[in-house]
Amino acid sequence: MSGLPLFDNDVRVHISEHMKPVLAGLFSGKADVPVEVVSAKKEGIGAFLFAETHKNNLPIMLRCCEEELKIMIATGRAPSPFYFERAVILARRERDYALEIQVCEVLIKAYEVYNEAYAKLGRIPPASTAYVSGEMKKRLAAARKNLGPECGKIGQNIL
C-alpha cells in the first residue's frame, strides 16, 4: 500500500467542478417526494434509507440519485448504480423516455468524471465503473430509440 489517500483535494476539486453543474437543477420537478421523506430529511435522515421500502417510487429513487451525486462531490467516492438503475427502470415503466435518458447520461457522466479523477492520480479505476457505464450506454441507446426523433433535443447539455 502506497500510503497515499485514495483521493486528494485536487481530485475532489476536479470531481466537484465537473459534477456540480450536472447536479444543479437535476430532475427538477421530478423528485417531489412524500411527506415522510421530507420530514426525515429535516431530521438528517438520508433518502437512501427509503430505497428498499420505496424502491418502486420514482421520486424517491431520483432523490437518492441526487444524494449519491452529492456524496460523490463531497468524498470522491463513485456513486452507487442501484438508485440510477431503479430510476431508469421506473422511468421506462412510465414511458418517460426523456427522464430515462437523463438518468443514464448523468450516471455515465459521473463515472467518466470519476475515472478522470483516478487518471489524475495515475491509477486504474475499478472495473465495475466500466461495466456499469457500458450497461447504462446500452440502456441509453434503447431509450433514445424508444423516444424516436425527439431524442436529438434531449440530454445534449449533459454529455
Q: Which three cell numbers stand for residue 43?
A: 431530521
Q: Where are the domains of the chain?
A: 9-153
Q: Is the pLDDT of residue 132 over 50?
A: yes
Reported confidence tier of residue 90, pLDDT bands at 50, 70, 90: very high
Average of per-residue pLDDT across 57-80 = 84
pTM, entire model? 0.73
Give how far Cα 30 sits from Cα of 4, 33, 99, 115, 125, Å: 40, 9, 9, 28, 32
pLDDT tens-digit map of 5-33 = 445 666 667 777 777 777 666 665 554 55
Average of per-residue pLDDT across 128-143 = 80
DSSP-derived secondary structure letter, 98? H
